[in-house]
Amino acid sequence: MENTAPQLFKVTIDGVEVEVPPGTTILQAARKIGPEVAPPAMCYYEPLKGSGGKCRACLVKVSAGSAKDPRPMPKLVASCITPIQDGMVVENYTNPQVVDARKSVVEFLLINHPLDCPICDQAGECHLQDFSYEHGVGTTRYEEDRRTFEKEDIGPYIQLHMTRCVLCYRCVYTADQITNKRVHGVMGRGDHAEISTYIGQAIDNDFSGNVIDVCPVGALTDKTYRFKNRVWFSKPVDAHCDCEKCSGKVQLWYRGDEVIRVTARKNEWGEVKEFICNTCRFERKQTSDWTIEGPTKVSRASVISANKYSKNLVKKPDFALKLAESQYKNIDDDRPYLHEMSEIQQSEDYKALMAKDEKYFGHK
């Protein structure tokens, strides 16, 4: 018999319809629509098999399971691991319960996270910063002592700051899937689980440096770049080289004429698709090592774009309008109108105007 099953499933996310192949996750479908509806992700990392489901940042409400079975799912689900069904309806930014749950995930992730962004090398490219800025609140209710860990040296290239870790497990998956032998993992459990080698061994093999790129926070940073610069003062440039071990496609981060850091290229979701080797990352820090392709396209919303463009094209809010709006007062004046108010109120135009936007008219 001919296969009559539809090739694509239709999903509605925050009122926007999208068609995706079966097996796609809600998060991937949302990303297909665009960043406006894509849920945040702290642990999910598309190139790493098995990642996701842990941070709970991407929780969404499924208000209709599928066209066949339109019942809502009883709990919020992690969008990064939940496959879509045909006719599924998902509420993301439009659902107060979801917004609230995200707020609480931010709070949970921050209660033990040091607020040392001013001295953290990840600042400016930190997913937790973005996540808490976009979804969190500016205060904390946490009065207890923050969790600390014993410092562990994991070699000359990678700096481990366990206090900043959000236990996304990305670096563990990276070591499992990208490198040939994993020497670090998650030790302990519960709120004292930590990334460690247990025996203070250096994480050292050809692709170990990729754990730096996948780390969403400042828990794993590049020791050779440590305290050298802030990302928003450096200029990222796409470059490549003919490398035996990896694709050789990188980003060079310049300060003046000096290459101060080499990273893999990240897509708009902050994910690395082509991992690079340690030689490219740590050894090739001369412009002559590379063929320059041109400036990296940086999102204008990113702090990295600061100081890089002659004209700021980001649309500013119209403060004049906002000011006028907030200062508008209804004038209480009992002098007679030229027309009787009731006359005006009966006009169709007036009614239409009132119905359209009430807020500019204090009186009804």
Enumerate binding residues for another protein (CB under 8 A): 52-57, 59, 75-76, 78, 81-83, 101, 104-105, 107-109, 111-112, 141-142, 144, 147, 166-167, 169, 181-193, 197-199
Type of residue numbered 164 = R
Minimum CB–partner distance for residue 52 and another protein (Å):
7
Considering the complex, state which of residue 208 and residue 234 has its C-beta at the smaller distance from another protein: 208
Minimum CB–partner distance for residue 190 and another protein (Å):
4
Query: What distance separates the 2 farthest-apart alpha carbons in the chain?
Result: 88
Minimum CB–partner distance for residue 223 and another protein (Å):
21
What string of H, E and C letters represents the secondary structure of the chain?
A: CCCCCCCCEEEEECCEEEEECCCCEHHHHHHHHCCCCCCCCCCCCCCCCCCCCCCCCCEEEEEECCCCCCCCCCCCEECCCCECCCCEEEECCCCHHHHHHHHHHHHHHHHCCCCCHHHCCCCCCCHHHHHHHHHCCCCCCCCCCCCCCCCCCCCCCEEECHHHCCCCCHHHHHHHHCCCCCCCEEECCHHHCEEECCCCCCCCCCCCCHHHHHCCCCCEEEHHHCCCCCHHHCEEEEEECCCCCCCCEEEEEEECCEEEEEEECECCCCCECCCCCHHHHHHCCCHHHCEEEEECCCCCCCHHHCCCCCCCCCCCCCHHHHHHHHHCCCCCCCCCCCCCHHHHHHCHHHHHHHHHCHHHCCCC
Considering the complex, state which of residue 148 and residue 345 has its C-beta at the smaller distance from another protein: 148
Q: Residue 105 is encoded by which pair of tokens? A: 């995930």
Minimum CB–partner distance for residue 104 and another protein (Å):
4
Q: Residue 113 is encoded by which pair of tokens? A: 């996270």
Considering the complex, state which of residue 80 and residue 262 has its C-beta at the smaller distance from another protein: 80
* Among 184, 192, 186, 185, residue whose Cα is nearest residue 163: 192
Considering the complex, state which of residue 128 and residue 252 has its C-beta at the smaller distance from another protein: 128
Considering the complex, state which of residue 101 and residue 304 has its C-beta at the smaller distance from another protein: 101
Minimum CB–partner distance for residue 111 and another protein (Å):
6
Minimum CB–partner distance for residue 60 and another protein (Å):
12
Minimum CB–partner distance for residue 246 and another protein (Å):
23
Type of residue numbered 189 = R
Minimum CB–partner distance for residue 185 and another protein (Å):
4
Minimum CB–partner distance for residue 173 and another protein (Å):
13
Considering the complex, state which of residue 111 and residue 306 has its C-beta at the smaller distance from another protein: 111
| Contact indicator for 251, 239 with CB cutoff of 8 Å | yes
Considering the complex, state which of residue 100 and residue 358 has its C-beta at the smaller distance from another protein: 100
Q: Residue 313 is encoded by which pair of tokens? A: 């094209």
Considering the complex, state which of residue 142 and residue 360 has its C-beta at the smaller distance from another protein: 142
| Contact indicator for 255, 31 with CB cutoff of 8 Å | no
